[in-house]
A and B are shown apart, each in its own frame.
Chain A
Amino acid sequence: MRTNSGGLDSGPSLDLQRFLKTWGTLLGFVFLVVLFSLLRPDAFAQIRNLRNLVEQVATLAIASAGVGMVMVTGDFDLSVGAVASLSGVILASLLVSGVGIAPAILLTVLAGAAIGAVNGLIIAYAGVSPFIGTLAAMTSYTGLALFITRGTTVFGLPAAFRWIGQGRVGPIPTPVVIMVGVVLATWILLDYTTFGQRLYAIGGNRQAAYLAGINTSRARFFAYVYSGVTASISGIVLTSRLFSAHPQAAAPFMLNAAAAVFLGMTAFRDGQPNAFGTVLGVLIMGVLSNGLNIVGVDTYIQSVLTGAILILAVLLSGLSQRSA
């Protein structure tokens, strides 16, 4: 016989468990910040360094927002890195050929949306599995970027373009402002619109969502479009930061964005990707890489530790016990 939940079952230990499940990842983040601050108060805990750190992770955070939206439906987008790189290449080519900054940016974002739409068609409508579909797409987009640039880096961007990636709005770096904008937009879309409710319903049980009347193909399609848009915005910011466009500049985003979303799934919302969780995931990865650098840990060992911490976070959050 099963007893009713509540009553005897919900002792203090269960509350603690639930507390850790919701806030554990955030506590882990705070722990990392405190740890590095204590280890190197002179270098890590400086406003300058922290501002630099946030500025560094902003591009990944922007791209991860879209990947998170795709992952809410239970799908996957491996092509973000390639889309961001390709967007940078498209933008730089437009700028170099004399197109104005504003129209060039607009065209690039539209291109990002179109690329996302192609992904969406392949996966949501043609029914290719997300993993294979975006992996194949990634290969093609990378090839396209290499073809456009002939494998070289595009230089010679107009000086005014620096502001996007290296400027300030008051005391705040422009990339951070853009990141906050994208994250807020993602948060509103996911948590406050019918679109977001549909995405979560699809992620919860796609067949059930379909039978409940949701146009699952359309919702998944637009999640990919959104991912294409955020990837291209991320590519634009990155191009301005580097002040050049390399056809594979954003390649590491492919796995880092997914890792950030996975880390974020362990925070706030029980086992589902969410807008702020993803930012937290990006920040954890940023603090780790920045802090380990300052402490003087070998770069290669940093990768080893990042992977281990991702596994640890998933194990501790109990996410591993969920199927799928």
Chain B
Amino acid sequence: MAKPRLQLRAVRKNYPGVRALDGVEFDARAGEVHALVGENGAGKSTLIKIVAGVVAADEGEILVDGRATAVRSAADARRSGFAFIHQELNLVEYFGAAENVFLGHPVPKRFGLFSRRRLREMTGRVFDTFGVSIPMDRPVRYLAPGQRAMVAIGRAFVHDASIYFMDEPATALTSREKERLFALIHTLREQGNTVVCVTHNLDDVFMIADRVTVLREGKRIGTWPTGEIDKDTLIAKMIGSAAQRAPEPVERTRGAVLLSVNGIAGAGVGPVSFTVRAGEVLGIGGLVGAGRSTLLQMLAGALKVRSGEITFGDRPYRPRTPGCALRKGVTLIPEERRAQGLALGLSVRANTIVSSLERFATAGLMRFSAAARAAEQAGSRARVKTASYRQVVQTLSGGNQQKVMFARALLTAPKVLLLDEPTKGVDIGARGEIYEIIRRLTGEGVGVVLVSSEFDEMLTLSDRLVFLREGRQGRTVANEGLTQHDYLRLCYMGVDDEN
């Protein structure tokens, strides 16, 4: 049996209130592609961060070729031969492929001057060994996502990396690009390198990995050669038997159809069809990158719908901007609350009323006392905890910031509420309160469309589930007695696949 190139021994990491890694053992061999899988919160990211020298482990050690190695910084990691290809590739957008590959590396000179031609030749040789060709005459910002990933890998390669860590490398790639990437991963393996690949996509695991390690709740569940385990078993390992429980049944009276979506497509997603009824939560199931946020943004008027039809009530609905959608009663709480949701430097009050300014104005003049009262009412309904509504939103906790987003949405009196990762980065207490708000809204007849990467959340909140897989429509099911196991299987299932 090949000797392990990389070994992690009894790695332990605690965050306040969370045991992120609980004595994890892991090893990867030379000439091996090793997949690391697990649900969100299983500890995959923490593990990678420790190896990258971004966070320090509380206990445990890292061994390279059997020797204990201290990795306290990114520079240490590089010296140990580690390379990291993250989803954000950290490329210099305005530089070409060659300049990016050799960034931070001694550059070739001719007559004492930097020679771009020789740089390109050298880069060409790197890509030749991979069997790919990348245009070098244009800035990488104009390259396709797959080519950009190749550039990032090329950079790691010239830095003499021998252990490659890839985090969801195939997300955002077309199927052809994906094939190329997988071919490149194979080449790296043939050359004796080690590739550790974190992914949600289990089909990819079976396509490229030699072995797979499952993490769950900070513990290693096991490592198997991919030839000796099947997808269903793997899913069961990821979820664990304890978690295989049916969600609590929710009693709801389902109302009339509010939103009827017929074969809409745009931005690489669709065609998709479904209906949203008053008083129900419709979950959009699927994996990261399945196009769920894109779908919500189309419904919210933030992205263009290219084809298909939407009916809202009995009228055609085709919002051109988020403002149009809001006026009709469709409100989005976007995924990135800091980037897309809040003006962090403005007050809680200003952030709460921003979608409803007209309601608190007469002939364009603000009626601030009315606005303040309404903001505080909506805030208390959304359980916002703040010393003052004049306080700057930045000073609130993540959970409270998210509740400000809910308060804003409540003020718009939505008929349909679109929620994109409503509890991302929110602590447990606030999460419960947000679930409570969602339940109250559906009780009042609001139709909710929910996207979340947490299976548990999807199963707890949804009445029905529509699945997306790589932008295409999958199954539509009632959330009755579904387990997390069923859910994950549905994520991988096309609309016509057999059970």
Question: Is there contact, CB below 8 Å, between A198 and B302?
Answer: no
Question: Is there contact, CB below 8 Å, between A212 and B397?
Answer: no
Assign chain A's interface to a size class: 20 to 34
Contact with B along A1-41 (1 / 0, CB 8 A): 11001100000000000000000000000000000000000
B130 to chain A, nearest CB (A): 37
| A192-B365, A200-B350 known; A212 vs B355 contact (CB < 8 Å) | yes
| A201-B346, A211-B334 known; A194 vs B341 contact (CB < 8 Å) | no
8 Å CB contact of A272 from B345, B354, B357: B345
CB of B339 closer than 8 Å to a CB of A = yes
Contacts of A187 in B (CB 8 A): none
Q: With A and B bound together, what is the CA distance between A306 and B344 in angstroms?
A: 32
Question: Is there contact, CB below 8 Å, between A211 and B397?
Answer: no
Question: Is there contact, CB below 8 Å, between B343 and A211?
Answer: no
Which residues 213-266 of A sit at the B interface, judged by CB distance below 8 A? 213-215
Q: With A and B bound together, what is the CA distance between A213 and B347 in angstroms?
A: 18
The closest CB in chain A to the CB of B342 belongs to A208
CB of A195 closer than 8 Å to a CB of B = yes
Contact with A along B394-431 (1 / 0, CB 8 A): 01010000000000100010000000000000000000
The closest CB in chain A to the CB of B357 belongs to A194
CB of A322 closer than 8 Å to a CB of B = yes
Question: Is there contact, CB below 8 Å, between A197 and B354?
Answer: yes
CB of A49 closer than 8 Å to a CB of B = no
Contact with B along A182-215 (1 / 0, CB 8 A): 0000000000111111101101110111111111
Q: With A and B bound together, what is the CA distance between A5 and B385 in angstroms?
A: 12
Question: Is there contact, CB below 8 Å, between B350 and A271?
Answer: no
Q: With A and B bound together, what is the CA distance between A213 and B412 in angstroms?
A: 10
| A5-B395, A192-B366, A193-B366 known; A211 vs B341 contact (CB < 8 Å) | yes
CB of B239 closer than 8 Å to a CB of A = no
8 Å CB contact of B345 from A193, A204, A207, A209: A204
Question: Is there contact, CB below 8 Å, between A212 and B387?
Answer: no
Contacts of B321 in A (CB 8 A): 210, 213, 215
Question: Is there contact, CB below 8 Å, between B354 and A212?
Answer: yes
Which residues 353-381 of B sit at the A interface, judged by CB distance below 8 A? 353-355, 357-358, 361, 364-366, 368
Assign chain B's interface to a size class: 35 or more
The closest CB in chain B to the CB of A218 belongs to B323
CB of B332 closer than 8 Å to a CB of A = yes
Which residues 47-76 of B sit at the A interface, judged by CB distance below 8 A? none
Question: Is there contact, CB below 8 Å, between B323 and A200?
Answer: no
Q: With A and B bound together, what is the CA distance between A22 and B341 in angstroms?
A: 27
| A193-B361, A204-B346 known; A211 vs B354 contact (CB < 8 Å) | no
8 Å CB contact of B343 from A5, A194, A208: A208
Question: Is there contact, CB below 8 Å, between A214 and B354?
Answer: yes
Question: Is there contact, CB below 8 Å, between B339 and A214?
Answer: no
B234 to chain A, nearest CB (A): 37
B174 to chain A, nearest CB (A): 26
**16 A-B pairs whose Cβ atoms sit less than 8 Å apart in the complex:** A194-B358, A197-B354, A198-B357, A200-B346, A204-B346, A205-B343, A207-B339, A208-B341, A210-B322, A211-B300, A211-B322, A212-B355, A213-B323, A215-B321, A215-B323, A272-B345
Known: A197-B366, A200-B346; 11 extra A-B contacts, CB below 8 A, are A1-B16, A195-B364, A200-B350, A201-B346, A201-B350, A203-B343, A204-B342, A204-B350, A211-B322, A214-B354, A215-B321
Q: Kindly list the 10 A-B residue pairs having the minimum CB-CB distance in the complex, ordered from nearest.
A: A204-B343, A213-B326, A213-B323, A194-B357, A205-B343, A204-B346, A212-B355, A194-B361, A212-B354, A213-B355
